[in-house]
Homo-oligomer: A and B are copies of this chain.
């Protein structure tokens, strides 16, 4: 076995022609969002522009994203391990969504503090962090929105977690969902069929777990044909 054939590594890009950021101008700014125009130079030296949107509340600290999203596993005696998810109406998509508990990082907080606080507020659970991702991008073709993924375990047998009480902001209406890991993908598909929209990171998590759990099971021909239906 060999792992060559990778076409690049993180360190060998120095000699290549690069795109370069030139400037950013505000086209229209509202209270929470700002429509911006970015001017940049492409690797051939051509000047180009790109429309983008930014949160007006964006933190400007290295390693700290706009928001934290908590991949939260609830462990309890005599129960299957569950992923803790939240369901809420999201005006931008005019629908209820199924997402990781999440929230914006306040200006005086670390990523870890924001994660523990937001998880407690949205679900009532007190969690323990197992790892934190680097700053990742949410939708980099469209916006400057960024996320730190925070991996959290909740000991459901601990007394602090036995009657979890969320502490929602005024105007937040959030339902907590416990989805057993062994049937996560099926459960998300059921929510989708019922009209909810699943977050793309939650779906990726479920599909990857499903792939690990069901390695080697292939799709039947009927399913394959269905993929190309107009």
Known: A91-B40, A112-B228, A227-B129. A3 touches B199 (CB 8 A): no
User: A1 contacts which of B50, B80, B175 (Cβ < 8 Å)?
Assistant: B80
A15 on interface, CB distance cutoff 8 Å: no
User: A143 contacts which of B78, B92, B113, B187 (Cβ < 8 Å)?
Assistant: B92
A73 to B142, CA, bound (A): 26
Residues of B with C-beta under 8 A to A191: 10
A180 to chain B, nearest CB (A): 5
Instruction: Please tell me if the beta carbons of A137 and B198 are within 8 angstroms of each other in the complex.
Output: yes
Known: A18-B89, A50-B91. A200 touches B149 (CB 8 A): yes
A67 to B51, CA, bound (A): 17
| A-side interface mostly | mixed
A155 to chain B, nearest CB (A): 14
Instruction: Please tell me if the beta carbons of B38 and A51 are within 8 angstroms of each other in the complex.
Output: no
Known: A33-B142, A52-B92. A201 touches B198 (CB 8 A): no
Write out, one digit per residue, whether chain A residues 99-112 have a CB within 8 A of any chain B CB (1) or not (0): 10010000000101
User: A199 contacts which of B7, B102, B137, B205 (Cβ < 8 Å)?
Assistant: B137
Q: Which residues of A, 169-203, contact B by the 8 Å Cβ criterion? A: 171, 173, 175-180, 183, 187, 189-194, 196-203
Provide a sorted-by-A list of 13 A–B residue pairs whose CB atoms are within 8 angstroms. Answer: A6-B180, A38-B92, A48-B171, A53-B143, A92-B141, A92-B142, A93-B137, A134-B193, A134-B198, A137-B198, A146-B197, A201-B204, A209-B212
